[in-house]
Amino acid sequence: MTSPTPPEKALKRVLVVSRLNGWSVIVIAALGMLLTLALGDLLGTAIGLLAVASGWMEVHGNRKLRQRDPDGMRWLVRSQLFLLAVVLVYCASRLGSYDADTMLANLTPDMEAILQEAGIEKADLLPLVRQTFVAVYVGVAATVLIYQGGMALYYRNRTRLVTEALTVPPEPPSHAVY
């Protein structure tokens, strides 16, 4: 029995990674979408739906590769770029929607009592809240840029090897006779 060639190894690895990643995106995005829908956040629900679509694109690309269609690699790369764009647009929209008055209005009476006991004025809290708000969305944007961007590069860099593996007919499984 011969060991798999580099193109065969690349194909197998891409199939495993794309299936796991695609279904993970679908499940996580669907759960997030349901949560935002329950909270009445229509923008979050729309973003979740678009994220589910990107996961479906990746699963679709995986299926095309399993059918020995090299076009599946384009689906994989595009799914990553689509999800990257969706999350970056969401982060930018959230960063542009910061409203200090709304933040203060969301303080519960218990929170206000705790602040008063600690000798902290509401106005003193605003810079910290704003910094945290910005840090969260910039952090999410940076993380998705690194991860989804890296996944897009990973798939793009393996396109040649995967296409090569798909153009060579697969070897039939060998059956040892004892």
Report how far residue 137's alpha carbon sits from residue 160's, in angstroms, rounded to the nearest whole number.
36
Q: Residue 154 has what pLDDT?
A: 98
Residue 36 clears pLDDT 90, i.e. is over it: yes
Tally of domains within the chain: 1
Does residue 178 lie in a domain region? no
Does residue 58 lie in a domain region? yes
Does residue 67 lie in a domain region? yes
Does residue 102 lie in a domain region? yes
State the average pLDDT for the chain: 91
Question: Could you report the per-residue pLDDT of 92-115, keeping only the tens digit for each?
Answer: 999 998 887 777 777 888 888 888
Question: Could you report the per-residue pLDDT of 118-170, keeping only the tens digit for each?
Answer: 888 877 888 888 899 999 999 999 999 999 999 999 999 999 999 999 998 76
Q: Residue 176 has what pLDDT?
A: 59
57 contacts: CB under 8 Å, gap ≥ 6: 22, 75, 78, 79, 82
46 neighbors 128 (Cβ within 8 angstroms): no
57 neighbors 26 (Cβ within 8 angstroms): no
Domain that holds residue 33: 6-167
Tokens found for residue 73: 């690699």
Does residue 57 lie in a domain region? yes
Q: Residue 173 has what pLDDT?
A: 66
Does residue 176 lie in a domain region? no
Does residue 175 lie in a domain region? no
